[in-house]
Structure 1
Amino acid sequence: MASSFRTTGRKIVAIGRNFADHAKELNNAVPTEPFFFLKPTSSYIGDGDTVEVPKGVDCHYEVELGVVIGKDGRDIRAADAEDHIGGYALAIDMTARNMQDKAKRKGLPWSAAKGFDTFNPVSSFIEKSKVADAQNVRLWLKVNDQTRQDGNTEDMIFPIPQLIEHVSSIMTLQAGDLLLTGTPKGVGSVQAGQTMHAGLESGSKILAELKLNVKDREGLFEFNKFKQA
């Protein structure tokens, strides 16, 4: 079921650079067609949990609207996309920015930079009926109660139906999968000891919130441990 996407979903499909101002703030070209990457479902955490910052990593937040797929589909036309949406969620695509930058320079995948445990905080499931217009909801994120991101899904370059058509033309979207639809401008670093508070709003109605702590990650990983790489 879509409502249990955190445990039943098979993949997280994340759209990159779907807000022009965000693409520009990272000195990236504004895309002329959608592109995406995958994140593991092992990166999920929920409200009240803790994001872990790996050693040596510049950890960035990216608040996003998540679309929960309600039924399987391949080659879904944009006109039929609504039938495959099961609901929504508020999400944060955490990113090891310096790792991503290094990967981009070398033409390598972003899997490590995007895939750490705790790097996909997500709210509980939002019923589809509670979202009057998914292309007009407000996304915001605060660090230590200071607003860092404040945008609206109406500013997406590629709307949700077009994203679903594009992704499903490449791979089957399965019930419980999460489609992250892009982040507005304002991304930046978060460090151990800070807090994050994110929200999703429709008009005056709060659809979801996430409150998260941040701490250093323990373990074997250290960025640039292999200096010759």
Structure 2
Amino acid sequence: MDDIRNIYCVGRNYRLHAQELGNEVPKSPMIFSKPTHALVETTGQEIVLPGNRGEVHYEAEFVIHISKPYKPGMKVEDVVDQFALGIDFTLRDVQSELKKKGHPWLLAKGFPNSAIITKFRAFPGVEACKEVDFSLIRNGQEVQRGNIQDMLFDLETIILFCSQHFGIGAGDIIYTGTPAGVGPVTDGDRLQLKWGEEILGECFIRLG
């Protein structure tokens, strides 16, 4: 993970997720970022999250790895070489207060260990990825299931938008949004990220 440069995240990219939190469905990609200190690979280990700042919510996501700068006319497959699954952890109570004040979300999204990620694997192409659901299993129960074909803004749109507004280059990764079903973690939770029926990564949560 040492080669990761920028961590971009797409907010409200699944209609049902936006609605479950009472948010307006966006008309263009809503992008925020996380510091690289937030990133941690899942290896079955215990991951410590802050337990003294209100509820910490899980948000399972499909993550893409950028291999080169984007140029107009490029296809997704030209710039994405790998994919993974991840969880964008969110301090939900903190985020709610920030929203009320019109402040940026960084305090709610950027804390250490707030971006967990599985090992990357070769990107098989957009159409192949649409044939497989990703899901999050919490203590043996499925709590989220999504498919990139249900995203409000597809991978091509997200990459183009990030390129135009922030720049995109080798080593950047993009968390592409979470489907409905988000909720709070509790101390001792076992979380597993699945690609189809295959578990790509898991961890145990400790609220410190």
TM-score category, normalised to shorter length: over 0.9
Task: Give the CA deviation at 1:15.
Answer: 0.4
With over 3 angstroms needed to count, the CA separation of the structure-2 counterparts of 1:68 and 1:211, relative to structure 1, is same
Q: Which amino acid in structure 2 is aligned with residue 70 of structure 1?
A: S
Instruction: Provide the secondary structure at the position in 2 that maps to 1:27.
Output: coil
Q: Say which SS state the counterpart of residue 33 (structure 1) adopts.
A: coil
CA RMSD of aligned residues (A): 1.7
Identical-pair percentage: 33
**Given the alignment, which residue of 169, 179, 185 partners 1:190?**
185
Deviations 1:165-217 (A, max 9, x none): 0110011112111111101000000011111111123xx6x3x5221111122
Instruction: Report the AA paired with residue 85 of structure 2.
Output: L
Q: Partner of 2:93 in structure 1?
A: 98
CA displacement at 1:132 relative to structure 2: 5.5
Say whether 1:64 aligns with 2:55. Answer: no
TM-score (structure 1 length as normaliser): 0.84
Gaps of 5+ in 1: 1-5, 218-229
Distance in 2 (CA, whole Å) between partners of 1:116 and 1:81 is 30
Residues 1-229 of structure 1 mapped to structure 2, 5 A cutoff = 6-47=1-42, 48-54=44-50, 55-73=52-70, 76-77=71-72, 79-129=74-124, 133-201=128-196, 206=198, 209-217=200-208
Counterparts in 2 of 1:69 and 1:140: CA distance versus 1, 3 Å: same
Name the CA distance, whole Å, in 2 between partners of 1:23 and 1:51. Answer: 27
Structure 1 residue 87 displacement after superposition = 1.1
The residue identity in structure 1 corresponding to 2:65 is V
Count of residue correspondences: 206
* Structure 1 segments of 4+ aligned residues over 4 angstroms from their partners: none
Pick closer, same or farther for the CA change 1:14–1:171 going to 2, 3 Å: same
Distance 1:78 1:111, change over 3 A: farther
> Structure 1 residues 131 and 212, CA, compared in 2 at 3 Å: closer, same or farther?
farther
Shift of the 65–214 alpha-carbon distance from structure 1 to 2, 3 Å rule, reads same
CA contact (8 A) 2:119 2:200 kept: no
Which residue of 2 is the match for residue 224 of structure 1?
none
Higher gyration radius (CA): 1
Q: Distance in 1 between matches of 2:19 and 2:188?
A: 29
Where does the alignment leave 5 or more consecutive residues of structure 2 unmatched? none
Q: For 1:87, what is the secondary structure of its paired residue?
A: strand
Aligned to 1:227: none
Q: Deviations over 1:28-57 (max 9, x none)?
A: 011111111000111111221333231132
